[in-house]
Structures are given as structure tokens and as C-alpha cells.
């Protein structure tokens, strides 16, 4: 008998007594109730992306201000922070040791990469040290439809200049008219408008001078005045005054960046401007209270204070 004959002849026998299949093996014995089939596994719901906020600012190598502070404040506010780096600074608790602008082509490419793919629901601008950078960012922001918070950074916490003199007029004429909110401190108010504020009663006049440059709202930060810390928010029709006792903590590096980013994050979440500013002010007050020493100079605010055990 050949091998072919053996296979052919034995095949019927194999078919007559087939091995039990999986279904056969698991079938209930006669007289046994069938078990219900297992329920189909639930399909998990894909997570929903949080609101997206873009910061266009300089990098602080010490992590206290700039892009680094912005992203920490955004995370604390429950949004996804993204960045366009405009300049690199060598910076620590003692001051700024060096600063280098990025080419406008690099700034433009970063912006387009984020906006064209991911999209943005709010933008915050910070350090834009040259007229060319201000002009480029203003051009880019003209094509987005979302709230824009402008922090018109003029000097660092230690008094180091961060805005070229020739850039001031470009910021005033091209960027401020695009702002939903602009957040100048008293030095920046004077730099932009020539108005010098030495008393709380002069905050309203300062705000009116900034509003004349085109933003929808202005938040004048009066933290450099003696006494309580007083800020004034206005759109020219309504006013909101934020007053808080001055905290006995010198470690306040990054407060301006943090405040503007916290406002932008809340606008992206759908709050109106007064609500966003009030929430951001409360957050920053806690961050200042929790500010900590770092290095030999002025330490940063603590962005994670509300999550500290």
C-alpha cells in the first residue's frame, strides 16, 4: 500500500470520529442549562483634549519666568500649553546674563506648526524684544480667531531691558490693537503711553491711555505702588478693582508671565474677561504666597501651590 493509499483510505475513519472542537468541548452536557454568552466588552470613550493655549515668548533658563512659567501656569489651569519661543535668555535668580532673539523664520515656523495642525483657543504673548519680532507676531495673530492676552514685557524682574526702544512703537501700533486683554505694569504703562503713575488714584487715567491704543480690555497692575496691591481692569465702560494685602515674600519672579498665562487659560475655558482675571488673580496670589528661595537672588512663585498636600 502506498503512502497515498494509506492517507486516502484512512481519511473516512478520521472524519467519522472528529476531534471535539472548541464549541463541542464547551457545550453543556445534556440536561444542563446553557450559560449566557459573555457580554461584549465596552468600547472605551476616547479622552477629550483640554483647551489649547499658545504662548509666544522668551525662554528663561532658570525656569522662573517666560515660556517655562507660562506652561506651568497653563497646566495648573487645566489647559494644554504650547509654545513659540521668540528668544533665549541666560537667566537666574540674580538677573539676565544674556539674551538672543530667534530668527523670525523660526518664530513663524513654530507658530504655523502649532496653529495649522493643533489649533489654538487662546494666545498669550510675552517677550518680543525687537521691532521685527513684534511685527511678525502681529502679522501671525491677525490670522487667528481667539482671545489674545498681551503681556508687554519691557524689563525683567531685576530691571534688565527686554524690549528694544525701536520696538515700543511697533508694539503700540501693531500688537495692542489685536489684544483682548493687555496686562502692563506701571513701568510698561509709562513706556507705552508716557503716563507716570505714582498714586492709586492715577490708575484710571493710565488705563484710559492704554485703552486709547486699541485693546478691548486693559489690566493695569499697580503692584509697584506702596500699600495694598491694587490692579484695575476696565474696558472703558466697566471697572473691576482687585485689592489684596501685600504679601511679605520677596520671591516673586515670574508673576507677570504667570498672571497673563493664567488669564489666557481661563479665556480658553470659556470664562469672560472679568471672570478670567478674577480667577487668575486668585491663583497668582496663592503662587506668590508660596514663592520659594532659589539661588542667591529672587526666587520664583510656586505654580503648583494649589496641588501641594
Known catalytic residues are: 221, 252, 254-257
Contact 156, 189 (CB under 8 A): no
The C-alpha atoms of residue 188 and residue 146 are separated, in whole angstroms, by 24
3-class DSSP string for the chain: CCHHHHHHHHHHHHHHCCCCCHHHHHCCCCCCCCCCCCCCCCCCCCCCCCCEEEEEEEEECCCCCHHHHHHHHHHHCCCEEEEEEEEEEEEECCEEEEEEECCHHHHHHHHHHHHHHCCCCEEEECCCCCHHHHHHHHHHHCCCCCCEEECCCCECCCCCECCCHHHHHHHHHHHHHHCCEECCEHHHHHHHHCCCCCCHHHHHHHHHHHHCCCCCEEEEECCCCCCCEEEEEECCCCEEEEEECCCCCCCCECHHHHHHHHHHHHHHCCCCHHHHHHHHHHHHHHHHHCCCCCCCCCCECCCCHHHCC
For residue 128 the three cell numbers come to 518680543
Amino acid at each position: 500500500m502506498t503512502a497515498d493509499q494509506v492517507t486516502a483510505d484512512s481519511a473516512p475513519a478520521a472524519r467519522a470520529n472528529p476531534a471535539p472542537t472548541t464549541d463541542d468541548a464547551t457545550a453543556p452536557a445534556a440536561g444542563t442549562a446553557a450559560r449566557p454568552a459573555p457580554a461584549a466588552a465596552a468600547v472605551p470613550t476616547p479622552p477629550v483634549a483640554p483647551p489649547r493655549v499658545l504662548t509666544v515668548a522668551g525662554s528663561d533658563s532658570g525656569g522662573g519666568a517666560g515660556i517655562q512659567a507660562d506652561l506651568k501656569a497653563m497646566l495648573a489651569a487645566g489647559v494644554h500649553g504650547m509654545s513659540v519661543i521668540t528668544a533665549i535668555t541666560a537667566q537666574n535668580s540674580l538677573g539676565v546674563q544674556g539674551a538672543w532673539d530667534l530668527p523670525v523664520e523660526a518664530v513663524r515656523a513654530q507658530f504655523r506648526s502649532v496653529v495649522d495642525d493643533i489649533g489654538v483657543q487662546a494666545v498669550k504673548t510675552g517677550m518680543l524684544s525687537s521691532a521685527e519680532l513684534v511685527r511678525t507676531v502681529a502679522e501671525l495673530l491677525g490670522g487667528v480667531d481667539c482671545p489674545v492676552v498681551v503681556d508687554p514685557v519691557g524689563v525683567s524682574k531685576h530691571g534688565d531691558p527686554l524690549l528694544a526702544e525701536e520696538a515700543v512703537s511697533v508694539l503700540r501700533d501693531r500688537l495692542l490693537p489685536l489684544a483682548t486683554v493687555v496686562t502692563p505694569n506701571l513701568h510698561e504703562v509709562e513706556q507705552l503711553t508716557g503716563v507716570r503713575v505714582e498714586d492709586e488714584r492715577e490708575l484710571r487715567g493710565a488705563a484710559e491711555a492704554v485703552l486709547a491704543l486699541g485693546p478691548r480690555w486693559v489690566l493695569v497692575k499697580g503692584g509697584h505702588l506702596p500699600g495694598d496691591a491694587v490692579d484695575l481692569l476696565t474696558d472703558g465702560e466697566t471697572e473691576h478693582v482687585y485689592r489684596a494685602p501685600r504679601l511679605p515674600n520677596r520671591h516673586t519672579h515670574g508673576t507677570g508671565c504667570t498672571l497673563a498665562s493664567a488669564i489666557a487659560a481661563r479665556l480658553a475655558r470659556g470664562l469672560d474677561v472679568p471672570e478670567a482675571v478674577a480667577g487668575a488673580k486668585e491663583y497668582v496670589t496663592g503662587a506668590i504666597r508660596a514663592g520659594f528661595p532659589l539661588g542667591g537672588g529672587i526666587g520664583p512663585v510656586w505654580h503648583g501651590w494649589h496641588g501641594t498636600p
